[in-house]
Amino acid sequence: MPDTLHHRDIDVVAPNLKKRLSGVTSTVVRLIPVQREMIGITATGPGLPPDLPHIPLSRAATLPRDRWRVWHARRNTVGTRG
């Protein structure tokens, strides 16, 4: 399902920049529809299911800078040393 939000209604962009499915991707896939009920959120990036509300990465990168938007990233720290 392509995103039906007008750019003025997008408050939060949740990027998924990995092509392979990960736990982080699974979280995005499960939470975006729930969060969409409360805020103007959309996902972007490759490897997302077609029924998930999302916009192409190229559109996300060119959203007008007419107001503040949150780019919310979930970080996958598996395999990193801290």
Distances in whole angstroms, Cα of residue 74 to Cα of each of 14, 68, 71: 8, 19, 10
**66-72 mean pLDDT:** 84
pLDDT given for residue 38 in this prediction: 92
The string of pLDDT tens digits covering residues 18-59 is 777 677 778 878 888 999 899 999 998 888 888 888 898 888
Decide: 5 and 59 in contact? Cβ < 8 Å: no
Task: Name the pTM for this structure.
Answer: 0.74
Spatial separation of the C-alpha atoms in residues 67 and 31, rounded to whole Å: 24
Spatial separation of the C-alpha atoms in residues 81 and 23, rounded to whole Å: 18
Residue 74: half-sphere exposure toward Cβ, Cα within 13 Å = 17
Spatial separation of the C-alpha atoms in residues 50 and 81, rounded to whole Å: 34
When comparing pLDDT for 10 and 47, which is higher? 10
pLDDT given for residue 39 in this prediction: 92
Query: Residue 71 above 60 pLDDT?
Result: yes
